[in-house]
Amino acid sequence: MWNRFLFLTLTIVLLSEPAVADLKLVLHSEGNVTLNEYNMRCASGALLRSKVDCVVVVGEKSLQVFELHTDSLNVILNAEFDYTRITGGPRMPGFAVGDFDSNDRDEIILCLNNQLMRWEWDGNTFGLEQLDFPYYIVDCVAGEVFDDGRDYFITTSLVEPPAGSTKLRVNVSRLDSTGVDMVYDRTTDLSMMITTIIPPDHLVCVGDIDNDGQTEMVTSVAQSDVSPTRFRSYVWDADDLLFNLKDEFAFGDNLFLINLFNELSEGKFNGEFISVPIPQDAPAEIPRIILNSKDGLWKLEVSLMRTALIFLKPSLDLVTDNDAIEFNTFAKKVFYNYKKKTKIRVQRLAYVTERVTKISGDSPAQYIADKFCKDNYLKAPFNGTQSFELHSLKKYKFERFDLNSWVRLKSTNLLDKNRTPVFLVVNDINTFA
């Protein structure tokens, strides 16, 4: 009689780039203006006068500038552009707003790979200038770096779009009469993985964020996890001319996830819950959150690598068809709503079943050896074997998915008092990475 342990595992990825859906700006004098792009970034600046008077909004294909008034906003620039991102880079081009040429009026820098688009108000309209940049830009922010009262635009970049994983350069630049004046250029420990799934390390801001009199550069850390986004701060060392790592921190959202899963669980996770306070550099496979049911049948584990929903019958109790139907129905509902409420992207799916049975007479290892190694020249070497394991892999397409199907046969022992020897069959169906 088989006992079946059922698992459903989702490996998910959090994207650190900002996303705003259906941003609507209500204008007092002109009615409603709707920005239809779903991914947008914004910044403010003194583009027309000596004080902050404009909001700049950049999407995947357009840039708009809104003039601020007491009771209205007026669109004063609407520019479209073609941007084919570097593989693995942000969905939107990097941009910065600041007084990069020290003429007491801010300008806009838009980074399109190795080209810069620069807009500056000339008193009547925004003049556009195109500038070359020596590298392929991944991200960009503005700030005062050298405590000299001047604005700089800080970029992360690649010498050329590579394959695989790579370190990013950090550049600090300003503008002069000849174009880009790069005053700092060095490879750092910031990195990106060249994939459409995992975002790169993002630049967040530059400034004295902890009020200690030092300029810090803050980045978010690329990761494929469900933990809070991690941030790093780098302090500018004027003596060594380096951005040195100062601190790493995160804004915890474990309580949010615990409450969310309890809301979605239909009362199943009514037992002990564990939120593990472990270091950020602990192995990614260690669960950070564990939820259980009182009867021990249900468990949910959240690690930096995956979210796993587990249904487990104790000892050698039979899992019925109704058990399997309940698990599948519940799993689909939980993960569908989990994805919807957290706006995550799912990188991989896996469905894993484990079935065990006791073997009469021979040990489970000898049972496998006798079944699969019957010829004389194979049988003798495996007489009296203590452990045996077989693996099989198939690859095939199912609808729009490319699937791996693993079957593993092995001898093992239950974690009971008697360490009961059993024959274990694992079936692991998962999507390609």
Query: How far is it, in rounded angstroms, from Cα 35 to Cα 42?
Result: 12
Q: Does 83 share its domain with 169?
A: yes
Distance spanning both ends of the chain, measured CA to CA: 35
368 burial class (0-12, 13-18, 19+ CB within 10 angstroms)? buried
Q: Does 192 share its domain with 333?
A: no
Q: Residue 5 has what pLDDT?
A: 43
Which residues are CB-neighbours of 397 under 8 A, at least 6 positions away?
A: 403
Last residue of a domain, one of 222, 244, 271: 222
Contact 145, 172 (CB under 8 A): yes
In angstroms, the Cα distances linking 376 to 337, 379, 380, 382, 424 are 56, 5, 6, 10, 26
User: Which one-letter amino acid corresponds to residue 238?
Assistant: A
- Give domain status of residue 327, yes or no: yes
Q: Residue 120 has what pLDDT?
A: 94
Q: Does 323 share its domain with 259?
A: yes
- Give domain status of residue 235, yes or no: no
Last residue of a domain, one of 222, 242, 263: 222
Q: Among candidates 263, 332, 326, 322, which has minimal Cα distance to 291?
A: 263
Q: Looking at the DSSP assignment, which residues form a beta bridge with residue 41?
A: 58
Q: Residue 11 has what pLDDT?
A: 36
Q: Does 367 share its domain with 306?
A: yes
Q: Among candidates 122, 359, 416, which has minimal Cα distance to 369?
A: 359
Query: How far is it, in rounded angstroms, from Cα 140 to Cα 170?
Result: 10
Q: Does 30 share its domain with 49?
A: yes
Q: Among candidates 262, 284, 256, 428, which has minimal Cα distance to 348?
A: 428
Number of neighbouring beta carbons within 10 Å of residue 331: 18
- Give domain status of residue 230, yes or no: no
240's enclosing H/E stretch is none
Last residue of a domain, one of 168, 202, 222: 222
Query: How far is it, in rounded angstroms, from Cα 308 to Cα 289?
Result: 11
Structural domains in the chain (count): 2
Query: How far is it, in rounded angstroms, from Cα 231 to Cα 202?
Result: 9
398 burial class (0-12, 13-18, 19+ CB within 10 angstroms)? exposed
Q: Does 404 share its domain with 320?
A: yes
- Give domain status of residue 183, yes or no: yes
In angstroms, the Cα distances linking 409 to 31, 356, 395, 406, 422 are 67, 10, 18, 10, 11
Which two structure tokens, joined as six digits, stand for 328? Answer: 């599948």
- Give domain status of residue 244, yes or no: no
pTM of the entire structure?
Answer: 0.54
DSSP SS3 for 125: coil
Segments of 208-357 assigned E as strands: 216-220, 230-237, 242-250, 273-275, 289-292, 298-302, 307-311, 345-357
- Give domain status of residue 267, yes or no: yes
Query: How far is it, in rounded angstroms, from Cα 354 to Cα 375?
Result: 29
Q: Among candidates 273, 322, 328, 319, which has minimal Cα distance to 297?
A: 319
The DSSP output letter for 83 is: -
Query: How far is it, in rounded angstroms, from Cα 356 to Cα 367?
Result: 13
- Give domain status of residue 231, yes or no: no
Q: Does 160 share its domain with 201?
A: yes
Q: Does 7 share its domain with 40?
A: no
* Ranges of the chain with pLDDT below 70: 1-39, 86-91, 161-165, 189, 191-201, 222-229, 238-241, 249-255, 275-281, 314-316, 345, 361-362, 376-380, 433
Q: Residue 129 has what pLDDT?
A: 93
Domain with residue 185: its CATH number is 2.130.10.130
- Give domain status of residue 371, yes or no: yes
Q: Does 322 share its domain with 261?
A: yes
Q: Does 158 share its domain with 36?
A: yes
Q: Does 127 share its domain with 274?
A: no
Q: Among candidates 28, 95, 87, which has minimal Cα distance to 62?
A: 95
Q: Report how far Cα 272 is from the mean position of its chain's Cα atoms.
A: 28
Q: Does 186 share its domain with 264?
A: no
Write out the residue range of the structural domain in which residue 93 sits: 24-222
